[in-house]
Amino acid sequence: MLLNIDPTMEWGVSPVQTESDLFATAAHEAGHAIVARMLGLRVAFLKIAADGSGKSSIEPAHHLEIADQIAVYTAGSQAVKLLGFEQRRQAGDDDHGTAARLWRKWHVDGTTFEKLIAPAPP
């Protein structure tokens, strides 16, 4: 896996205000990568742009249970919170939108929130 801070990347969320923004983005992308690896997905790279935006290249997760797919998409924001960084405006919006669509699909398929949070049987 490659982590690259690339000052030439122009895709982004908003200008970086502090070095903490870069660390928050790194935590966000690392959160996705850690959960993805724990679920057996390959992670090709993480990239952090000078403006503080980030991208990760993770193997598609369509074959995973929907709860695991949701975990990969929400892991970035959760890592930022866990490490005490401030979530940047718009950061993770795409992730949360995808997680919400997965949740709606799952719920329509008959899965309830109680089943989602229930511990796995021994």
Q: What average pLDDT does range 47-55 have in this prediction?
A: 83
Give the integer Cα–Cα distance in Å for 28 and 22.
Answer: 10
Percent of the chain with pLDDT over 70: 67
Q: What average pLDDT does range 52-57 have in this prediction?
A: 86
pLDDT top residue among 43 and 7: 43
pLDDT greater than 90 at residue 38: yes
Is there a domain that residue 93 lies in? yes
Largest Cα–Cα distance of the chain, in whole Å? 50
Residue 116 DSSP label: H
pLDDT greater than 70 at residue 33: yes
Q: What average pLDDT does range 98-118 have in this prediction?
A: 65
Give the integer Cα–Cα distance in Å for 96 and 103.
Answer: 10
Is there a domain that residue 122 lies in? no
Question: Is 35 within 8 Å of 72 (Cβ atoms)?
Answer: yes
pLDDT at 110: 57
The total number of structural domains that make up the chain: 1
Give the integer Cα–Cα distance in Å for 1 and 100.
Answer: 28
pLDDT at 19: 81
Is there a domain that residue 45 lies in? yes
* Model pTM score: 0.71
Is there a domain that residue 43 lies in? yes
Give the integer Cα–Cα distance in Å for 75 and 95.
Answer: 9
Rg (CA), the chain: 15
Is there a domain that residue 11 lies in? yes
pLDDT band at 16 (very low <50, low <70, confident <90, very high): low
Is there a domain that residue 55 lies in? yes
Question: Is 14 within 8 Å of 87 (Cβ atoms)?
Answer: no
Contacting residues for 20 by C-beta, under 8 A, at least 6 apart: 85, 86
**What domain range is 95 assigned to?**
2-117
